[in-house]
Structure 1
Amino acid sequence: MSGGRAALRAPRRRAEAAETPLPQGVALAADLAVQRGAFRLETKLSVPQGEVTAIMGPSGAGKSTLLAAIAGGVRLTSGRIQLADGAVITRRRHLPAARRGVVMLGQDARLFPHLSVRDNVAFGLVVRGLARDRARQVADEWLWRVGLSGSGPHRARELSGGQQQRVALARALAVSPRLLLLDEPLTGLDAETAADTRAVLHEQLSSTRTTTLVVTHDAFDAAALARQVVVIEGGRVMQRGPVRQVLEAPATRFVAAVAGLNRVRGTADGGVWTAPGVDGDVRIAGETPATEADRAPLVAVFRPADVRLSRAGETTWTGALRVARDEPHPIGEWLGRVVRLEPTPGGARVHTTKPDVVVEVPAAQLAALALAPGDPVRLALDGADVRLMPDP
């Protein structure tokens, strides 16, 4: 009987022993699916050891769900997560969060209100078996590293929001996590506090070489903190690569908006890029990739500051549209309609259609134009300011 049980167990042991180890330099590999109601996240991800990887995407894309699955707060529907120590997590082999060596820090610092700042930082070390006195010494060292030397005896409520976030960071890093997950940690902080906290994050993550995944909606945070970025939209990975490469060549309108660029879909037509406009095709004489044949899908990428905007000759939309249809317009110029205006420190971003294009307008020009939603405008763009790329 015992021999029979051993025979039944043997295949499982062989299967577990056959797990392929992660490549050197990889801290975590995931190829997973999580179903939450009607939403489904399907993501493949490889996290380099000792580096910061940014996760970007619009609201509801699945970014926080991904972190929760990695941290152990959400069970996988299918697929697997593999850690550098060889542990493999599946739906049936669900490793508890406490055994993954993963620490998550979100927008809320979640400090213990009844403990001092020092004991908040020391808490994880004590739980892991370090003597309390030694844990408090280590906590003081970490408070010094995040710029809060001398704050140890205080309670969390005596600190500002930015200071509390630094305490939470010190507590997370003090336990030397296998993987640190940051879920928009700078959201909710004012600009000055966020800048200070960002600088502390960059310094400490660089010096400790802590493998980190940071969810952010801000391209500046991604560029300041991370080397790689993964873009998730609708539960799928839409783009990945070095931060600069992704921001310079956005594969979706979301990435273009985050990078502060226009991204308009069109086609190649006799060496000219064309896209549907309200008064016929918009045509730009950009440098068409040599490999693209006529009618091949092309994406035009250009900066809002490179678009020139002026009022149309007619003040009403119907009047401007009638004139535009009767008069030919040169390449690089078209009629648009103001959709909305977003204030900026130096003026406004004017959203126009069709096609959907954002234009940066300085304050003085904005005052002279006196634009309002629905107004007809003329737009112009030099081909030299446009980068044309194949539409993936």
Structure 2
Amino acid sequence: MSADLDVVIEQAVPPLRIEHRFGAGRTTAVVGPNGAGKSTMLRVIAGLVRGDEPTRITLGDQVFRDRGVFVPPHRRGVVQLLQDARLFPHLTVADNVAFAPAAQGLSRAQVRERVSRWLEAAEVADLADRRPGELSGGQAQRVAIARAMAAQPRILLLDEPFRALDVDVASRLRALMRELLADHGRTTIMVTHDPVDALGLAEDIVVLDRGRIVESGSTREVLTNPGSRFTASLAGLNLFVGTLVDANCVVDDRGNRVVGTVADDAPGGGIPDGEPAAATFSPRAVAVYLHEPHGSPRTMLRATVRDVVPRGDHAVVHTDVGGQTVAAEVTWAAVADLALVPGLGVVLVIKASEVRVSAVARR
């Protein structure tokens, strides 16, 4: 049974001051600018960095780090998965996955059962006898995931595990991780720069900036109605969250609809109607009008202007659509011609060809 992970970290170099409770059996995304302290936080939790006093790391009633107490990494039940698979090059795939169960003192039969289970779950059973040098990047990362899960960690730390992979491979691995994390058998913390990873895998989110938490809460609420500048600019994308209908359309609870193309990041290669989903699209894919345009655009949203801010030689118009923020990048000439000011009602048209629809983690 998983337990809450309570973290209090004080670190002078690099500077880090964090106090947060990571919910038992939940997945929390950690985002923030480069140098914000995300990876350092994971290293302190893993026990690879001690942290300064009064750093305190506890999992339920077990103390990992406190004054006079320091439990070494191998006794914490923590596994860290990085963007580099870091498989043992001299071992076969099966032996890589067997490493942790064998080290835990399980019988040979128990080790074989666990290896078989996770090779099948990661869809790499046919690679069992190969060595890491014979694998593609995506295959190696699948084996790394199987090895991590075979350890049955109480805490799983993911440090941008899909970042070095092609988009299609990353989508398939995201779908795999969604299935593996669905049992809520462990507390998972995932560092990512990709809002699709955060929405698709994590119930909760923490935003770090300059070593401090500046925002936290439900992933859906924080990303669709951001309170910090970094969160608002995360990956430069709009995130429109709702429910999937008609196979490729995201509808919110007020009936606003965004049409796009479903990404290949859901089990079975698709998202069933009625499931939580998010449409992601660039502000450049959004056009702003004062009245409904002629023709029949597939996505047309009524919105209210919140503010207009500079972005280079263009302006970004932040609007409210049913409580969600949708940004449009327009020229300054358009700002003047349309007289865009806070409170103005506008119509947004979004190019369906530039909208990606992805699954969202259930709450």
Q: Tell me the TM-score normalised to structure 1 length.
A: 0.64
Q: Which residue of 2 aligns with 1:253?
A: 229
Post-superposition, which runs of at least 4 consecutive aligned residues in structure 1 deviate over 6 A? 334-338
Q: 1:226 and 1:385, CA in 2 relative to 1: closer, same or farther beyond 3 A?
A: farther
Where does residue 31 of structure 1 map in the other structure? Answer: 8
How far the C-alpha of 1:87 sits from its partner, in A, is 1.8
Q: Which has the higher contact order (CA 8 A, sep 6+)?
A: 2
Paired with 1:256 and 1:69, the residues of 2 have a C-alpha distance of 28
Give the Cα–Cα distance (whole angstroms) in 1 for the partners of residues 3 and 110 of structure 2. 32
Match of 1:339 in 2: 312
- Residue 199 of structure 2 is matched in structure 1 by 223
- Aligned pairs for 1:127-206 (under 5 A) are 127-132=103-108, 134-206=110-182
Residue 377 of structure 1: which of 333, 340, 343 is its match? 333
**Aligned 8 A contact 1:339 1:352 in 2:** no
Question: Residues 124 and 171 of structure 1 are in contact (CA less than 8 Å); yes or no, is this contact kept in structure 2?
Answer: yes
Contact 2:309 2:315 in 1 (8 A): no
TM-score w.r.t. structure 2 length? 0.68
Q: Does 1:113 align with 2:89?
A: yes
| Secondary structure at the counterpart of residue 232 of structure 2 | helix
Work out whether residues 335 and 377 of structure 1, in 8 Å CA contact, stay in contact via their aligned partners in 2.
Answer: no
Q: Is the CA contact 2:4–2:23 (under 8 Å) kept in the aligned structure 1?
A: yes
DSSP 3-state at the match of 1:69: helix
1:207 deviates by 3.0
- State the structure with more CA Rg: 1
SS of alignment partner, residue 25 of structure 2: coil
Amino acid at match of 2:89: P
Gaps of 5+ in 1: 1-23, 263-302, 310-331, 341-349, 362-370, 387-392
Query: Can you list the C-alpha shifts for 1:119-139, whole angstroms capped at 9, x where unaligned?
Result: 000001111112345413321
Matches of 2:198 and 2:233, distance apart in 1: 14
1:150 Cα offset (Å) = 1.7
Displacement of 1:211: 1.6
Task: Name the structure 1 match of 2:26.
Answer: 51
Code of the aligned partner of 1:212: T
Among all aligned residue pairs of Structure 1 and Structure 2, give the percentage whose two residues are the same amino acid: 40
Residue by residue, what CA displacement relative to the aligned partner does 1:299-329 show, whole Å, maximum 9, x if unpaired?
xxxx6666649xxxxxxxxxxxxxxxxxxxx
CA contact (8 A) 2:30 2:190 kept: yes
1:35 is aligned with what amino acid? Answer: A
Moved more, 204-213 or 107-116: 204-213
| Alignment gaps of 5+ in structure 2 | 240-282, 290-304, 318-325, 348-363
Relative distance call for 1:53 and 1:181 in structure 2 (3 A) is same
Query: In the aligned structure 1, how far is the partner of 2:310 from the partner of 2:76?
Result: 54
Amino acid at match of 2:38: K
**DSSP 3-state at the match of 1:108:** coil
Question: 1: distance between equivalents of 2:176 and 2:202?
Answer: 14
CA shift, 1:53, in A, is 0.8
Taking a change above 3 Å as real, the CA distance of residues 125 and 88 of structure 1, as seen in their structure-2 partners, is: closer
CA contact (8 A) 2:3 2:187 kept: no
Closer/same/farther in 2, CA of residues 72 and 337 from structure 1, 3 Å limit: closer
Q: Deviations 1:47-70 (Å, cap 9, x if unpaired)?
A: 111111111111110000100000
User: What SS does the corresponding residue of 1:180 show, helix, strand or coil?
Assistant: strand
Other structure's SS at 1:109 match: coil
Q: Which amino acid aligns with 1:207?
A: D
Q: Deviation at 1:157?
A: 1.5
Amino acid at match of 2:50: R
Contact map agreement 2:308 2:316 (CA 8 A) in 1:
no
The aligned amino acid for 2:52 is T
Question: Match of 1:43, as an amino acid?
Answer: I
Q: Is the 8 A contact 2:26 2:186 kept in 1?
A: yes
- The number of equivalent residue pairs is 275
